[in-house]
Amino acid sequence: MISGVVVTGKENYCKQVLALACGARTILEIGALAGYSGVWLARALPPNGKLISLEVSPKHAEVVRATFAAAGLSDRAEVRVGSGLDLLPTLVSEAPFDLIFIDADKENYPQYLDWAITLSQVGSLIVADNVIRGGSPFQTPPPDENTAGIASYNRKILEHPRLVSVAFPNDDDGMDGFAISVVRG
């Protein structure tokens, strides 16, 4: 267990529903932490489906592996250790992914989006967590690098010609939420 981080069942159930709705057979998770979100995503996969979770921390990756094993999902869920920006180029041969979930270092969200589009196909979903953050991404200028990354991500998903996007609050107090983008031709 990793303290200080709370992901509600409601949020993860939403991710699972999205994976089921798009018929995901391959899912990429950028930022795994303890593997809780990955479990919900992997449960949406068919038996021959594949979840690849990227985690920068070797310590957290061990927790993720144990979480996947305890959930009986080691046959379809794996974790790869390293910086997301270093690992993403290595996934080109395994693309396309049907769903890409982004919940990692916020300052790199814009680059993660670029890679998500590269690793997707028409109809893929790109889901990013923490895009509302109490309204701070909408301040000018954003108060810090993490918030600036989220603000840039939010602008990019609205302006990108290959994406149709929406953001909405998903936590109990409405202070944070997801952005969901569908990749189109």
Each residue's pLDDT tens digit, 15-66? 999 999 999 999 999 999 999 999 999 999 999 999 999 999 999 999 999 9
Task: State the first-to-last Cα distance of the chain, in angstroms, to the nearest integer.
Answer: 41
pLDDT value at residue 60: 96
pLDDT value at residue 138: 76
Each residue's pLDDT tens digit, 6-17? 566 788 899 999
pLDDT greater than 90 at residue 2: no
User: Among 129, 130, 150, which residue's Cα sits nearest to residue 139?
Assistant: 150
pLDDT value at residue 151: 93
What is residue 106's three-state secondary structure? helix
> Cβ–Cβ contacts within 10 Å for residue 124, how many?
23
Tokens of 104: 């990692």
Q: Which residue has the higher pLDDT, 94 or 33?
A: 94
pLDDT value at residue 25: 98
- Quick one: DSSP state of residue 108? G
Q: Which position has the token pair 């489906």?
A: 49
pLDDT value at residue 6: 58
Each residue's pLDDT tens digit, 120-161? 999 999 999 989 876 677 778 888 899 999 999 999 999 999
- Quick one: DSSP state of residue 135? G
Q: How many CA atoms lie within 13 A of 71 on its CB side?
A: 23
pLDDT greater than 60 at residue 90: yes
pLDDT value at residue 31: 96
- Return d(Cα 112, Cα 148) in angstroms, integer: 14
- Return d(Cα 103, Cα 18) in angstroms, integer: 16
